[in-house]
Chains A and B, each alone.
Chain A
Amino acid sequence: MSQRNHLGEFEEIVLLTVGILYDDAYGLAITDEIEQRTNRKVTLSSVHKTLMRLEQKGYLYSHMGGATEERGGRKKRLFTITNSGKDALREAKQLRNALWQAVPRVVWERGNI
């Protein structure tokens, strides 16, 4: 179903951030990265929920990483983008590009209203 494969805006951001962080993409790091890059407040739990949803959709793959001292000995769940995740991102980007190109140039060149 195309509906289900559709990426939400926040989902897209999370998915891209997982890509940015590459081999250290876990809940809190992703949250931090999003906060820094987008300059908006996101809560840990909403990021977590999105990550779980994306994993359910098959866009993410996760495995448990090593426990570190700064986490009080708890393991972290590390996320990587799966192939279908990459496809979804590409599709989203292409869709956007297509939309961009469909906008007549005149729109951009006319002065400000």
Chain B
Amino acid sequence: MGDKSSYHPHPPSWATNFLRWYCRSELVDEVEGDLYELFQRRVEAKGLRRARLLYWLNVLMFFHPDYIRRRKEFYSPNYLAMLRHTILLTFRSFQRYKSTFFINLVGLSSGLACTLLIYLWVTDELAMDKFHERDAQLYQVMQHRVQGGELVTSTWVPGLTAQTLVEEMPEVEYAAPGFGLDQYTLSLGDKDVKAVGQYVGVDFFKLFSFPLQQGDSSQVLADKSAIVISETLALNLFGTTENVVGKTIEWQHEEEYQITGIFADPPRNSSMQFDFVLSFKIFLDENGWATRWATSWPETYVLLKPGADVHALNEKIADLITRKTNDEVAHRTLFVTPYSKNYLYGNYENGQQAGGRIDYVRLFSVIAVFILLIACINFMNLSTARASRRLKEVGVKKAIGARRSALAFQYLGESTLMAMLSLAVAVLLVQLLLPQFNEITGKQLYLPTNASLAISFLAVTLFTGLMAGSYPALYLSGFNPAKVLKGALNTSVGELWTRKGLVVLQFTLSIILIVSVFVVYKQIEFVQNKNLGYDKDNILYFDRVDWEEGNLETFLAEARKIPGILSASSMGHDMTGHIAATYGVEWPGKDPDDRTEFEMMPVSYDMLELLGVEMKEGRTFSRAFSTDSAKIIFNEAAIEHIGFTDPIGKTVVWGNETLEILGVVKDFHFESLHEQVKPMMFWLSPQRTWSVAVKINAGEEPETIAQLQSLFQTFYPGFPFDYKFLDQEYQSMYAAEQRVSTLSKYFAGIAVIISCLGLFGLAAFTAERRLKEIGIRKVLGSGNWNIVYLLSGDFTKMVLMAILIALPISYFMAQRWLEGFAYQTTIPWWIFVLAGLLALLIAWFTVGLQTVKAARVNPTVCLKDE
């Protein structure tokens, strides 16, 4: 527009738009004109940039109450009053319908609290081991071995793997082995401390982000006499971390090590927890066999160079063991997997990644969603049900002139306020429950005060509130006031169906959870009470500390003299998992490619008797025969694998020795019941045992342990007497399942309670709505029980429907879970009947409370008006 001969630059349009937005309409023209004129003048005098800047400044200077338009131009003048009115009505309706309010508050807040707890647990699990600075490059070397036609995966690899990978693979920047993570005794003068330590490679602190507070990461483990300790250990031993480096401490009363560094305690979200590290070289020097490529001992971690091709590396290292052993050991392949992934994805089935802890993370995430869903359904059902009662309110408001948006705002505000209140209660609940929850989960969770958590939970709450409020907000507010006030509107069929469908969904979820609890409980019980093939009760064991030949026998002989001790012996196993195995046993007719490994169990005399293992054939080792040390005992699985039909007296060759089979023991479970019983062999070699086991007379535990302890102290002064009970250790193998069992019990309980709360609310509402009908029926001669039957019939149908849907689903889910166990309990049919019946009974009870009350009403009372 206008004069095209002279060019007029434009003032910044954002500023102009801003001015037009805020400025009163009667003033905007003159102000804009003045500013425009000024701008043009300034462009000539001071240049475009300055003029634009000054223009902005001017616009801002006009941002003044005299110029800002009043909002009343757009909103009704009683806007604030309306808001106050809405809030007032909300609180009034809370007050008036107290039961609904409490049902909503209890249901929603416990649902939110469960979700919050699970969220905390899940985020903690997901963050495990991710704190290492170079997490993306940090990998762990894993090994598949062929065993009985299947691939078995473990984290143990040959001792020289780390060194070889660094030397031969250009992709690898650093590699470090780690071995022997266990409790040891450290002493400073007279002071003995139990501490967890391990042997690690020189570059350990370069791979992992366990920051060294003192010492240099490339130097601390350079020397074989070096020990690096944690801050806490330093404080425990010395009371300070000052001037600790350079001092010497004693390890296992055997060896002295010099402190070369102090590292910060491993954070809680590290799966590797330790107090000190020693050089891996010590381990290699003392155990020459560990450098053999045919044996697998340490875990090995590698740090790949940035951008390294992991697939190519995996292909290259797959046959590393085969090459190093000149094709002698060809059944073991190596591969690397991201270190931080191993925590959640640690299980392998026949060489394929098959879940791990992630299964439980997923399980609980689903449970959290279930519970929140159940709570939301309550909320929605009750608010839609109540909403129809507010039709008149809607009509009156609309007649007076309330706009649809104002009504919608009121309903949404009401439900959002409710949800927010519940969130506040939920946060309180979580604070209260966290200590117990931590005890069950074995974690140290806390409620963090970070924005992301707050935002995600506010979002969930807001969503819940909006969802629940959306029906009345959008549907009811659209009614024609004249019709509503005349009472011409009936509840729509679709709405009824939705409500019923939601109840069915709620109960379906609850029943699934009930069945799951039963199944998990059954399996845990089965595992605890299964005849393992040996007697795990009253057996106490502790690590051997003295390796002098002959001393162990003396100690055992003394121990047997203690009156409460039934038997004492030692073994090279702990009965709670795979320890060490060999494929070196040879027999006539063995397939040369057979690499099936036999679990090795060196024992002292009496060990098999102590464990109560039953003999199938032959006899156990006996002092009466001096030649028993050249004999061997197998378990049934081993004999079956070897294929001997009449094994006693036949011989096998192991290493350089020919061993005669002395007996066959019945299979017993030396690993968790997730595993099949594997071949096992026993031979008499007290010197190679490392675990001393003692069978105690039941009922005399305290005195006997005290006597044993004093005996231990006289034999091994300076070593703390640190024992375990075999049955407790056995149970701890199923810690994860125990946790799931306990937690699912609680969560299922909460889900059922929340569902019932919802049902209770609905039943109360229905009874109230049908009060007149009930009155008329009673006048016409209907009995109390007829009324109860009438009112609970609907709910019974819903619950039955839920049972029908839930049972097949839960059966399928239970089967899937049990497949993870090699030895499973059977799911008896009555579990499903019981779960269904339980749901039905609970529902009846809940509804019954209301219906009986309704049925006993005096018809004159409810029919007298209208």
Contact = CB atoms under 8 A, between A and B. Distances in A.
Interface of A: 26-28, 43-45, 48-49, 52, 64, 67, 69-77
Given A74-B30, A75-B29, A75-B33, A45 B38 contact: no
Interface in B450-467: none
A65 B501 CA distance: 70
Given A45-B61, A48-B62, A75 B30 contact: yes
Residue among A48, A49, A67, A75 with max Cβ neighbours from chain B (10 Å): A48
Given A28-B34, A70-B40, A77-B29, 13 more contacts: A26-B34, A27-B34, A28-B37, A43-B58, A45-B58, A45-B61, A45-B62, A49-B66, A67-B33, A69-B2, A71-B37, A72-B33, A76-B30
28 contacts: A26-B34, A27-B31, A28-B34, A28-B37, A43-B58, A44-B38, A44-B58, A45-B61, A45-B62, A45-B64, A48-B62, A52-B66, A64-B29, A69-B2, A69-B3, A70-B37, A70-B40, A71-B36, A71-B37, A72-B36, A72-B37, A74-B29, A74-B30, A74-B32, A74-B33, A75-B30, A75-B33, A76-B33
A71 B32 CA distance: 8
Contacts of B434: none
Contacts of B3: 69
B451 to A, nearest CB: 39
Nearest to A52: B66
B130 to A, nearest CB: 56
Contacts of B38: 28, 44
Contact of A43 (B37, B61, B66): B61
A76 B34 contact: yes
Contacts of A72: 8, 32-33, 36-37
Contacts of A52: 66
B1 interface: yes
Listed residue (A45, A49, A77) with the most chain B CB atoms within 10 angstroms of its CB: A45
Contacts of A77: 29-30
Contacts of B128: none
Contacts of A64: 29-30
Given A28-B37, A48-B31, A73 B66 contact: no
Given A49-B66, A72-B8, A75-B30, A44 B35 contact: yes
A73 B29 CA distance: 9
A73 B37 CA distance: 10
B33 A71 contact: yes
Nearest to B28: A74
A100 B37 CA distance: 41
A72 B32 CA distance: 9
6 closest A-B pairs by CB: A74-B33, A71-B33, A77-B30, A45-B61, A72-B36, A28-B34
Contacts of B8: 72
Contacts of A67: 33
Contacts of B31: 27, 48
Interface of B: 1-3, 8, 29-38, 40, 58, 61-62, 64, 66
Nearest to A75: B29
Nearest to B8: A72
Contacts of A71: 33-34, 36-37
A71 B30 CA distance: 9
Centre residue among B1, B29, B58 by max chain A CB count within 10 A: B29
A2 to B, nearest CB: 24
Given A49-B66, A52-B66, A72-B8, A44 B34 contact: yes
A102 B62 CA distance: 42
A67 B225 CA distance: 94
A72 to B, nearest CB: 4
A28 B41 CA distance: 11
B30 A73 contact: no
Contacts of B2: 69, 73
B50 to A, nearest CB: 16
Nearest to B6: A69
B45 to A, nearest CB: 13
A70 B30 CA distance: 13
B670 to A, nearest CB: 89
A16 to B, nearest CB: 20
A76 B58 CA distance: 17
A14 B683 CA distance: 114
Nearest to A51: B30
A71 to B, nearest CB: 4
Contacts of B34: 26-28, 44, 48, 71, 76
Contacts of A43: 58, 61
Contacts of B36: 71-72, 74
Nearest to A43: B61
B696 to A, nearest CB: 94
A36 to B, nearest CB: 14
A49 to B, nearest CB: 6
A32 to B, nearest CB: 9
Chain B CB within 10 Å — which of A67, A73, A74 has the most? A74
A70 B43 CA distance: 13
A76 B35 CA distance: 11
A26 B36 CA distance: 14
From B30, B32, B38, B64, residue with most partner A Cβ within 10 Å: B30
A27 B62 CA distance: 13
Contacts of B64: 45, 49
Contacts of B29: 64, 74-75, 77
A100 to B, nearest CB: 35
A17 to B, nearest CB: 15
B38 to A, nearest CB: 6
A18 B30 CA distance: 16
A57 to B, nearest CB: 14
A19 B64 CA distance: 27
Contacts of A26: 30, 34
A77 B27 CA distance: 9
A92 B8 CA distance: 44
B41 to A, nearest CB: 9
Contacts of B1: 73
B64 to A, nearest CB: 7
A15 to B, nearest CB: 18
Contacts of A27: 30-31, 34
Contacts of A45: 58, 61-62, 64
A45 to B, nearest CB: 4
Contacts of A69: 2-3
Contacts of A76: 30, 33-34
A62 to B, nearest CB: 9
Contacts of A48: 31, 34, 62
A56 to B, nearest CB: 10
Contacts of B35: 44
B61 to A, nearest CB: 4
A45 B68 CA distance: 13
